[in-house]
Amino acid sequence: MTSAPREEPEPSHALTVLGAGVMGVGITVLALGHGLPVHLVDLDRERLDRARERIDGELRLAALMAALPEGTPTGTLVTGTSLKAAAGATAVIEAVTENARTKTEVLAEVSALVRPGTPLVTNTSSIPVDELAGALERPEELVGTHFMNPPYLIGTAEVIRGSRTGESTLAAAVALLGALRRKAVVVRDAPGFVTSRILHPMINDAARVVQAGTATAEDVDALMQGCLGHPTGPLRTADLIGIDNLVDSLTVLHERTGDDGCRPSELLRRLVREGRLGRKSGRGFYDYT
């Protein structure tokens, strides 16, 4: 007697990730490596094509570093340029540029496409969730997460509950992070939340120290590592974040808190003008070419 072929169970999550930049790629790698299917959406087809290559490379790297569960088949990746892909998702993670207007427009459009009850997750480093939720028909479906870069190596994620985030949305976001083997730490909504509100002004101060000629970037990082236990140093961290992303985040913090310590330093702005954005461009405070 021939037995019927064994059917694999359908995955309980089907993600749409919006934005094929550094964080969109990193989140996609994390999800694929845990067996979740992902539809990655970006309006730029060339960026999507480059993203596929980066995703393949980062999946191999993550596997070599034992950062993904062994024996889990890689999830299926589909890419496209239409937001309509989000219609069938069980959750949507928005990872577009750190600009409130851009995020609001994308989230509002996606909110009109998804089934009611679908959690919308904004991966923002500094913009208050409630500020973005105001443009949605169902603001209770929006929750914030702040994945650190690269997401497949950092085991904890900040989860931001806006004042209008519903209980079911929060629970769904925490469950999704659990499926990705990430520890969720839930915090209240505020500009920069916890991690960016502390880390980004510190990086800004480190850049000011270099700008003043007090020490080189290498010396600043060596002292922060050797004396204060920072794992990489603030300026290597800036290169990993992306200096343009860091300037955007600091600008949001400065505008919404009035804290002059969050005003992006001239050195950070100059590096952005010169195209020295960190690892993703090959040069930042350090040379990666």
- Characterize the bridge pairing of strands 38-41 and 77-80: parallel
Specify whether 146 is catalytic. yes
From residue 88, how far is each of 10, 83, 91, 117 by CA, in Å? 14, 11, 9, 12
Give me the torsion for CA of 97, 100, 104, 110, rounded to 10°: 20
Token duo for residue 82: 């239409």
The catalytic residue among 13, 34, 39, 146 is 146
Token duo for residue 200: 């980004």
Give the C-alpha separation, 64 to 97, whole Å.
30
In this structure, are residues 198 and 204 in contact, taking their beta carbons and an 8 Å threshold? no
Q: Is the dihedral of CA 212, 214, 217, 223 positive or negative?
A: negative
Give me the torsion for CA of 47, 52, 58, 61, rounded to 10°: -140
Token duo for residue 31: 């999800």
> Radius of gyration (Cα) for the chain, nearest Å?
19
**Residues annotated as part of the active site:** 146
